[in-house]
Amino acid sequence: MAPVKSIEDCEGVPHAAVFPTEEPKTIRLSLDEGESVGAHSHPERQVILYLISGEIDLQLDGESHIIQSGDIVQFDGMREVAPAAQTDSTALIVLAKKSD
């Protein structure tokens, strides 16, 4: 049977591993209004971010993208990313290994 989890049951703030031992890495990101994650990258990954609720100013290589509830964005993990919550926000992030 495939593993099934409730996103609300994932432990860890602001990051919670949804399936800690499985690939692709799947993370729930929870940020309160005004909270942010410093600029970073995921060089060996393709990234998909689905915003479940809230609004995030997603900085990609210093360029601002306002992401709202229901939006989904895909980008190369080589890009420098820095999300900042404009309102209380929850996102599901998938970090898939790049194929050679």
Strand order in 63-68's β-sheet?
A: 63-68, 55-60, 81-85
**Overall pTM surpassing 0.75 (yes/no):** yes
> What secondary structure does DSSP assign to 34-99, as a single string?
T-B---B--TTEEEEEEEEESEEEEEETTEEEEEETT-EEEEETTS-EEEEESSSEEEEEEEEEPP
Provide the pLDDT confidence category of residue 15 given band limits of 50, 70 and 90: confident
Q: Check the CA dihedral 68-5-96-36 and report its sign.
A: positive
Q: What confidence score (pLDDT) does residue 62 get?
A: 96
Give per-residue pLDDT as tens, 27-70. 999 999 999 999 999 999 999 999 999 999 999 999 999 999 99
Provide the pLDDT confidence category of residue 100 given band limits of 50, 70 and 90: low
Neighbours of 10 (CB within 10 A): 19
